[in-house]
Structure 1
Amino acid sequence: MKQLLRLFKPVLNYNYSHPFWVVLISIGLAVFSGYYALQLRVDTDIANLLPEDHPNVVALDRLNETVGGETDMEVVISSPSFEANKAFAEDLIDETLRLYYPRYDDNYFERAEFRRETEFTENNALYLASESELNEIIDWLQDEIQQAKEEANPFYFDLGDDESEEDARPEDFEESYKTLVPSEYPISEDSTIMVLKFYPTGSKSDIRYLEDMFAAYDSLLTAMNPAAYHPEMEVRFGGRLKRHLEELTSIMDDVMGSFATGFSSVVFLVMMYFFIKKYLHYRRGTRGKGKYTIWSHIIRMPVPILVIGIPLMISLVLTFGITYFYLGMLNTMTSVLFVILFGLGIDYGIHFYARYIELRSSGYNVHDAIMKTNEKTGEAILVSAFTTAAALYILMFADFRGFSEFGFISGTGILLALLGMLYILPALLVILDERLNWILISEKHEDENTEGHRYPFSRTIVTVGLVASVVVLAFSPNLSFQYDFGELEPKFPEYEEFRSFSKQVSSSDKRNPAYIVAETTEQVEQIAAILKERARQDTTSPTIESVETLQERYPTTEAEEQEKLQKIARVRELLQDPFLVDRDDEDLEKLRKAAQTREPFSIEQIPDYLKSRFITKDGEVGRFVIVYPSVGLSDGRQSIAFKNDVGVVRLDSGEEFYAASTTIVAASMLDLMRTESPYMVGATFIFIYFFMLFSFRSFRWSIIAMLPLLVGLLWLFGLMLIFGLQFNFYNLVVLPAILGIGEDSGVHLAHRYREEGKNSMWQVLSSTGQHITMGSLTTMLGFAGLLFTNHPGLQSIGVMAVLGIGMTLLASITFMPALIQFLEDKDWIRF
């Protein structure tokens, strides 16, 4: 590292000679980069956290291209009068579809979904029944006739052994009938609530479009005056699309809020620290007779912020400008990195500036103090930054883009912060100290010496620290992982209220289906057969409720048409049996209507509400299989189990087909992250250790410098066990970052102790110990802003980082000095 610093020494000399040019050029680059950094947007689509070539992502893209991935806006109308609701809905549809958006030169919405033409399906439902459902209906009718015949026998006696009439009914068709023939209008059971759906023309990722659309719609509802249709009428709009906008704006608000909190806290802490440190040092150095009063020091309180903050802000803006060109977007995890990198990057500036002040107070002039600081503290900063950046860059090898993009942005930010602190900060020191005399320096008093103090209670601290670490290690298998996605998502009261309101309108119990897109009808049949067989065989942990295809319901060949018509004719024949023809039964009446089909009908005759699930965007019969889960997919373990059951289907020909849905993608992402995390953490540990070994050229010192990280990490796990904290989808990404950040303190202490020599630990702590404490506190404050966000996942990142960095700091200023003192007493320290 010394050789690398010497290599860049001419750059440092140039910065000393031409400080204004260095600062101006750096600010110019930041302005150029900042323009592009401001173009970054946050992508909350979890599908984009997997590699683009991941099979399930490819399948989802293909599904969206084939079927479409529209997200609708729901409107809920409520009043005691059905007719008033209907009249308002019909007028609202006309007005909504006329809403014009000048920015797109198009209407806001392209179509509406409201009234369902159910008469056709009521009269032809059996033509859309599956073969198994038709066979079940025929068997049930035959059993009903046989039962009626037996009951007509005067010698018949009911022994009560047969299953009840309700249990004997064709349940599969009853469930399908609800889907095939729903109510004409989407209304609640008491007909007082009605739901409309509108499909936008714009993209849900265009925040401005969504904001303009909802604002225009709110104005439209106000202008239409629902009370004119009925005094008690209430109209609400929203749904998933509005929740998506709320999530985006919430994240942006959280980022700005946490940055404001972190920035103000860090600025205040740094100003107060350097003000108190410099003023007390000035008073001691001048024996209280200095020419500068306390007001002179107060006026100069912002100077450390200028010295450290300007290079830091330049590095941050450059980082996100590069991010724009390399990635183009931020994701939910990387959206908060501006806040985090602010707390991380300032650490290097604190070390450089604090050491510079010490050297200036020792009698060095500006040039020599800069060179000496670069030579001594610069090496520790270089080692610390390289190990932290490298530990973060290791994440780039992960397929999970939550890891890889976090690693790229944060690693790049660390290196740019390093360059800013080593080569822009010195130029500012020349300007503010030598040229403008804004930094008040007094020479250190000759009696000011802390050398010779031992670190107290070293053996006790080492023993307690090791015992605590061993205990945590023994209980570490009890650490758990949070699989419930719902617990990690932000709660939006307005959306939850709207959802509970709209759910009063009856809907199917089948939710969150997965789609498998095939190329031929034969492939569709084979895929469906394989999945049904899997569902039949899985009796211990079934996750498949049903498997549906349009080919199974809608005959596509003349032979299939005739076979289905013959079975429908058989149903009509059974319904005309003397024992059933006059029976007054609701289910038999439905079958009489549903069995009227005598000729095949075209796909165009099927109502849109029914065929939309099975028709492609081009209006053709889709060759895909729909699989409905039998388990709730908000639990990550169940979603992974469902993915394992349906994620890939391999035909006898060797062809493979992958399931597509957002829940399948989420499960694949969780599975991938869970698989890659141990490797990422392990690789980070290994790299940090070998980098330490290369830097210190000593096995013993590389272990000593790593101890705060190892012990602090174990203490973090101990706190997690005590307070019941869990790893989750979000905070796992910051664990490798904590490893890179946590070694910083050990590196600085070890370097300074080796520089000062034996019996110097107390002196090292009084100087470098203060600096690492300030550095860690500012980093913790950077992360602490996340504790006040509305997003539970982002909050968990803040909790994990604050506790992790706090524990590594505690280990650095207690366990590590005590261990070094203990080894020094045993004469086991080597220099």
Structure 2
Amino acid sequence: MQYRIDVDPLKAKGLWYLAPDDLTALRQKLDVHKDVVRELADSPTLENLFALINREMTTALVGHVFTGFLEEDEEKGPPDLTLVRAILRQMNGWLTGPRTYESTWETVFAGDAAAGSHDGFLWSDDRRLLFVLADPRPEAGNFNRFDKAVARIRSDVREVQRAYPDVQVGITGRAVLESDEMAVAQRDMAIATVISVLGVAVLLVVAFRGVVRPALAVLTLGIGLAWSLGFTTLTIGHLNILTIVFLPMLVGLGIDYSIHFIARFEEERGAGRSVGDALARTFAGTGKGIVAAALTTAVTFATLMLTGFKGLMELGFLGGSGILLAALAAFTTLPALLVLDEKRRGADATAAKGWRGTARQPSRPRLYRYPRLTVAASGLLVGLSVLALGGVRSDFNLLRLQAEGTEAWVWTQRISESSTRSLLFDEIAAASLEEARRKVTALEALPSVAEVDSVLSVLPRDQERKGDLIAALRPLVANVAFRWDRAGSVDLEALRTALGRIKFKMAEGEAGAPGSEEEQFRQERQEVRRLIEQFADTTERMRPADARRVLSEFQVALLRDLDAKVATLTAQVNGGPVTVADLPAELRARYVGRTGHYRLFVYPSENVWEYPALARFVGDLRSVDPDAHGTPVTTFEYLRTMKDGYQGAAVYAVIAVGILALLTFRAAQPALLALVPLGVGATWTLGLMTLFDVPFNTANLLFLPLIVGIGIGNGIFVVHRSREAGSGAAAPSPLANSTARAIILSSLTTLVGFGSLMISSHPGIRSLGLIVALGVTSVLVASLATLPGLLALLGARALETPSDVRAPLSLHRPPVLAPAACACARPSQGRDHRRIAGHPAAMGADSTDRRGS
């Protein structure tokens, strides 16, 4: 922890920090007034000080003692009365008010000021803020690794605020920003997960017009989530700011499989089929779509593991495994729960005809009566979206992704307003001072670099030249010793006399032009006269003994301070050049590493929170030193890797799902048709992003692989069901009611799952919820309007595979996913359906049954 730098070691080296011209001017002034200095040291009293001032005025050598006091400048301008006015103000203050002394000699001894006579505290550029620097220790294995350290610091800060309620105190910094971001994300994700689960449950209750079936779906989802959390604990063992979104994501995506399964099962039961037959047909029909959709979505997430970026790799692993586990729960737990529910209802497992009414043929919605119009409208919207693609923005400013309104965010803004330096900087190492000089010169020539802070910044320049100038000062201050044995009590009458003579010389004079030097000098003379008159009035009202006592105390404070300044000046002229070893320990620790290498801190001239400026700054630094490191370099690599990773993952995902679609349908045309919702929906989404001015950022880039999984899933379900409906027909039938209902409901649950993210105060997570809502809505419309319209126009042959030509697809002879699917395809042959009703895993059949089917 650091809050102050001990500047005392630099005070003895102050003259080395003056410019050569200032050293020359100081030598000339000391040479002119060396006799005055010696006389004041020989008799260090107030009356002698003002007598010497009066003498200098009398001889018209009015300027600064030591650094200009009581001396005329080269142009013979008006004398400077700054110091005499300051002394008179403090002297009157001691007589009438609190006796606190502030050095009046700081501006006189410029060498001492340059040497670091500052207080050593860490101030902002405008001196409105004081800094205390702390280096919190991260806690390994904790999602919020700085949580405990930040909490402890905040506790200490609250104690300070209670002790000093008028002082504003806050904490910020990279660790605090990260901790606050993690805390906000963790809190918001917990709330979003609860909202999404409740929202999904309500949707299911409304859609299924009951409580039991939605409860079964939510229970299945809960089991899948529990498996996912357990799997996460056993494998990765932690979450980060990217992977924390996977829980509400699984709620939105994982529930889809249960919805499709229940919707198809109810359709089959509504057609009068037994529980066993309904389960078998659900597995054989919709089950294939669930498997294909889960695999493609999992593969979509798995492509993130190819990016090489750890956060994305973990998200890809957890997202992909979570999807598969959710699908596994829908394939194992949900069928068993449905059978138990059917037993609870008491329905006849072998004759369910008439359950919930006889099967109804789906009516043809108006949307499907005019396929050409539907496809044309979709194409028009695609064209408009393509024209708007140029307006899609990217905003990789991480500061704008911080949780707004947090303490760390507020104080980051305040520091930025109070400092000209960027809060972000990079670091370069140099093995020697000579190498450091070369690199500093090269860096300062770069347009993207504002400043280079190094050990050279605190070492004086041109020390060889300054050495001769400082040596010339030594005779002028040699043997100057204050005789304090002669500094008795103040002679009040002598002091009044000296001040009276000075007052006489401060005659009013004629007024000068407003703002001119003459007018300013006249006003200063007026102030000196007023201060002397105030002194006279005050001492007249006081008892002489009291006045002498107070003035004697002031005399000691004033002239002891002068003695210290002269002593410091004497030490400075006799000191050698400044070396690294002379620097305070705090500065050496900052600028010199443990291995002896010198650290160069490079500050940007542009706002490197913005990605283009960041890229320029990092590129320029690497042209000087490829090993430059620091927050901007780390941020640049993080943003570049993440952006390239997501873009690459999207490309990999499209290729992977295309291959999976080909394997699923075993023909190019059905596979391409299954990709229509993805292509059309993604294009519309980009157009809507332009319309609503929603930029891509590091948080919502997750949308890219997500929309691939959702789009291809919907496409697979639609094409699968259309192939079933179109068997033996001239053209595909309209989208079956249960599939359409399942797609709508699954899209709504995804909207609820990700829409819940929009309650987050984290801008990135909030934008992810918004962009996924736009994307899911676009894919939904493309799935239920554009794709069915294309299927109606193309006809049934568009869905045929080579095997379909040889043997047309029949619902009574579905492609085999498992022996169970065939074992109950023909209940009329009298198989034991009690095995089927128990659990899908028990739906095996012997070889004779398989041949018979």
Q: What interval of TM-score do these two structures reach, taking the shorter chain for normalisation?
A: 0.5 to 0.7
Match of 2:468 among 564, 570, 591: 570
**CA distance in 2 between partners of 1:345 and 1:439 (Å):** 31
Shift of 1:704: 1.2
Residue matched to 2:784: 813
Secondary structure of 1:631's aligned partner: coil
Secondary structure of 2:698's aligned partner: coil
**CA distance in 1 between partners of 2:295 and 2:651 (Å):** 18
Residue matched to 1:236: 169
1:479-494 equivalences under 5 Å are 479-494=392-407
Shift of 1:788: 0.8
Residue matched to 1:322: 231
**CA distance in 2 between partners of 1:439 and 1:602 (Å):** 97
Match of 1:375 among 274, 284, 296: 284
**CA distance in 2 between partners of 1:632 and 1:317 (Å):** 44
Shift of 1:469: 0.9
* Structure 1 contact 517–625 (Cα < 8 Å) conserved: yes
Secondary structure of 1:490's aligned partner: coil
1:685-704 equivalences under 5 Å are 685-704=654-673
**Alignment CA distance shift 1:533-1:114 (3 Å):** closer
Shift of 1:237: 4.1
**CA distance in 2 between partners of 1:433 and 1:785 (Å):** 34
1:615-654 equivalences under 5 Å are 615-616=592-593, 621-647=596-622, 649=624
**Alignment CA distance shift 1:502-1:414 (3 Å):** closer
Shift of 1:366: 2.5
**Alignment CA distance shift 1:433-1:181 (3 Å):** farther
* Structure 2 contact 428–628 (Cα < 8 Å) conserved: yes
1:160-175 equivalences under 5 Å are none
Shift of 1:795: 1.0
Deviations 1:299-328 (A, max 9, x none): xx3322332222322222222333234333
**Alignment CA distance shift 1:705-1:191 (3 Å):** closer
**CA distance in 2 between partners of 1:535 and 1:184 (Å):** 27
Residue matched to 1:706: 675
**1:612 partner amino acid:** A
**Alignment CA distance shift 1:206-1:331 (3 Å):** closer
* Structure 1 contact 643–667 (Cα < 8 Å) conserved: yes
Q: Highest CA radius of gyration, 1 or 2?
A: 2
**CA distance in 2 between partners of 1:445 and 1:322 (Å):** 43
1:2-81 equivalences under 5 Å are none
* Structure 2 contact 676–715 (Cα < 8 Å) conserved: yes
* Structure 1 contact 186–194 (Cα < 8 Å) conserved: yes
Deviations 1:97-153 (A, max 9, x none): xxxxxxxxxxxxxxx5344422332432576x7xxxx9xx4478679999xxxxxxx
**2:455 partner amino acid:** L
Shift of 1:568: 3.6
**Alignment CA distance shift 1:594-1:644 (3 Å):** farther
Deviations 1:215-265 (A, max 9, x none): 75367448xx626xxxx7435343335544432221111001111211111
Identity of aligned residues (%): 25
Secondary structure of 1:468's aligned partner: helix
Shift of 1:647: 3.7
Match of 1:515 among 414, 417, 427: 427
**CA distance in 2 between partners of 1:688 and 1:808 (Å):** 16
| Runs of 5+ consecutive residues of structure 2 not aligned to the other structure | 29-73, 77-109, 477-564, 802-853
**Alignment CA distance shift 1:179-1:370 (3 Å):** farther
1:213 maps onto 2:152 in alignment: yes
Shift of 1:513: 2.3
Match of 1:184 among 120, 144, 156: 120
Shift of 1:498: 4.8
Secondary structure of 1:255's aligned partner: helix
Match of 1:308 among 217, 224, 238: 217
1:90-169 equivalences under 5 Å are 112-124=1-13, 137-138=19-20
Shift of 1:640: 1.6
Shift of 1:197: 4.7
**CA distance in 2 between partners of 1:438 and 1:218 (Å):** 68
TM-score (norm 1): 0.67
**CA distance in 2 between partners of 1:544 and 1:188 (Å):** 20
| Runs of 5+ consecutive residues of structure 1 not aligned to the other structure | 1-111, 147-155, 159-173, 276-300, 556-562, 579-587, 651-656
**Alignment CA distance shift 1:754-1:546 (3 Å):** same
TM-score (norm 2): 0.65
**Alignment CA distance shift 1:797-1:447 (3 Å):** closer
Shift of 1:813: 0.8
**Alignment CA distance shift 1:192-1:383 (3 Å):** closer
Residue matched to 1:612: 589
Deviations 1:622-673 (A, max 9, x none): 43332222222221211121111114655xxxxxx51221222111111223
Once structures 1 and 2 are overlaid, which stretch shifts more, 477-486 or 265-274?
477-486
1:493-642 equivalences under 5 Å are 493-498=406-411, 509=421, 511-517=423-429, 521-522=431-432, 525-526=434-435, 529-530=438-439, 532-533=441-442, 535-536=444-445, 538=446, 542-550=447-455, 566-573=464-471, 596=573, 598-599=575-576, 606-616=583-593, 621-642=596-617
Shift of 1:565: 5.8
Deviations 1:505-527 (A, max 9, x none): x7673642211245xx24x7446
**Alignment CA distance shift 1:464-1:672 (3 Å):** same
Secondary structure of 2:606's aligned partner: coil
* Structure 2 contact 13–115 (Cα < 8 Å) conserved: no
Match of 1:477 among 372, 390, 393: 390
Match of 1:356 among 252, 265, 277: 265
**Alignment CA distance shift 1:481-1:237 (3 Å):** closer
**Alignment CA distance shift 1:183-1:499 (3 Å):** farther
1:414 maps onto 2:323 in alignment: yes
1:390-469 equivalences under 5 Å are 390-434=299-343, 437=346, 442-443=354-355, 445-446=357-358, 448-450=360-362, 455-469=368-382
Match of 1:262 among 187, 196, 208: 196
Shift of 1:533: 2.4
Residue matched to 2:745: 774
Shift of 1:611: 2.7
**1:367 partner amino acid:** G
Residue matched to 1:666: 635
Shift of 1:376: 1.1
Shift of 1:799: 1.2
**CA distance in 2 between partners of 1:493 and 1:217 (Å):** 18
Deviations 1:315-342 (A, max 9, x none): 2222233323433332212112101111
**Alignment CA distance shift 1:533-1:477 (3 Å):** same
Secondary structure of 1:312's aligned partner: helix
Secondary structure of 2:169's aligned partner: strand
Secondary structure of 1:764's aligned partner: coil
**CA distance in 2 between partners of 1:531 and 1:219 (Å):** 42
* Structure 2 contact 443–452 (Cα < 8 Å) conserved: no
**CA distance in 2 between partners of 1:367 and 1:334 (Å):** 40
Residue matched to 1:793: 764
C-alpha root-mean-square deviation of aligned residues, in Å? 4.2
**Alignment CA distance shift 1:484-1:219 (3 Å):** closer
Secondary structure of 1:633's aligned partner: coil
